[in-house]
Amino acid sequence: MSLRGWLTEEVPPERLDRVRLLVGAYALFYLVARLRYFADLSKHGASDFAPVGVVRLLASPLPGTVTTAIAALAIALGVAFLAGWKRKVVAPGFFLAVLWVTTYRSSFGKILHSENLLVLHLAVLAAAALLPADEAPGARGRTAGWALRTMSILTVATYAVAGIAKLRFGGGAWLSGAALGEWLSWDALRKIELGSVHSPLAARLASSPGLLRALAIATLFVELGAPVALTSPRAARLWVLAAWLFHASVLVTMAIGFFYPLTFVAFASFFRLERLRAWPLQRQPER
C-alpha cells in the first residue's frame, strides 16, 4: 500500500462515527465531572495567572461568570457533537471550546498533561467534519480513514515525544531506573504532604532497583516504540495493550490516572469498532 493509500485508506464510515461518539462522550463526561473546576477559577488569584497556549490572548483572568458561561457552552456543544447535529459547525466549535477551557484551566501555573491527547483528537474530528464528505464515490470512507489514521499518528507522536524527553532530560538515570525510583518516592511524599491520595506501593517499588530498571525500560519501550503501532493492526493491538499496562502501572504505583487512555478511548482509532455488533447507537445521518 502506498503512503497516500495508507493515510486515506477507505474504511467503513461507521468506524469514525463510533470513535466520534466515544471521544465525544468521554470529553462531555470529563467536562461535566470537572465542571466545578472548569467553570470558576476565581479561587486562583490574578497573580497565579500564567497563560499558556491560546489563553495567551488574555492579559488577565476572565471573570468567573464568563468562564462559567464558556464551560456551559462547551457542555452544550458536547451534547450537540454527540447527537451529530450540524457537524460542520458543532465539531469545530466543540473542539475550540474544549481547547479553551482546558488551556484556561492549565493557565494557573500547572499544565495538566492528561488532556493534551483528547484535545488533539477533537481537533482531528473537527477537521474531518469540515472536509468534503462526498466529492467522489468512496470519498466519505477515505475521509473516515484519514481521520482515524491521523488520530493514531498523533497518539503515537505524543508517546514518542514523551519518551524522547525522558532520554534527553533524564538520560542514563532514566535507563538505570534511578530516576524512576526518585520520582516514585518524591511523588508519593509530596502527595502525602499536600493532602492528596498516594500509592502505598510507591515506596516499596522505589527500593527495588531491579524492578525499577525493568519498569523504566518498559516505559521507554512503550513510548519510543509507539510508532510501531502504525505498521499493522496486530502491532497496534499489541502496542495498545502495552500502553494500557503502562498507564495501569502508573495508576497503581503513583496514583496518577490518565483516564483517557485507561478507558481505551484514546486508542479507539486503532480498532475496527464497526465490528462491535452490540453497539447500542446506530450511525446518525448528517443533520
| Nearer of residues 171 and 276 to other proteins, judged by Cβ | 171
Binding to other proteins in span 171-190, by CB under 8 A: 171-174, 178-180, 182-183, 185-190
CB of 119 to other proteins, least distance (A): 4
CB of 279 to other proteins, least distance (A): 26
Interaction mask 28-57, other proteins, x per CB under 8 A? ------x--x---xxxxx-xx-x-xx----
Give Cα separations from 279 to 75, 196, 274 (angstroms): 24, 38, 8
CB of 232 to other proteins, least distance (A): 19
HSE on the CB side for 147, CA within 13 Å? Answer: 31
Binding to other proteins in span 66-85, by CB under 8 A: none
CB of 54 to other proteins, least distance (A): 9
Applying CB under 8 A, among 195, 210, 280, 285 the residue interacting with other proteins is: 195
| Nearer of residues 116 and 284 to other proteins, judged by Cβ | 116
Question: Maximum Cα–Cα distance for the chain, whole Å?
Answer: 61
CB of 277 to other proteins, least distance (A): 30
Applying CB under 8 A, among 160, 224, 228, 242 the residue interacting with other proteins is: 160
| Nearer of residues 192 and 252 to other proteins, judged by Cβ | 192
Q: How many residues bind other proteins (CB under 8 A)?
A: 78
Q: Which amino acid is at 241?
A: L
Applying CB under 8 A, among 32, 85, 96, 191 the residue interacting with other proteins is: 191
Verify binding: residue 208, other proteins, rule CB under 8 A: no
Interaction mask 5-24, other proteins, x per CB under 8 A? --xx----------------
Q: Are 62 and 100 in contact (CB under 8 A)?
A: no
Binding to other proteins in span 90-149, by CB under 8 A: 99, 102-103, 106, 108-113, 115-116, 119-120, 123-124, 127, 131-132, 135, 139, 142-143, 146, 149
CB of 183 to other proteins, least distance (A): 5
Rounded Cα gap, residues 136 and 126, in angstroms:
21
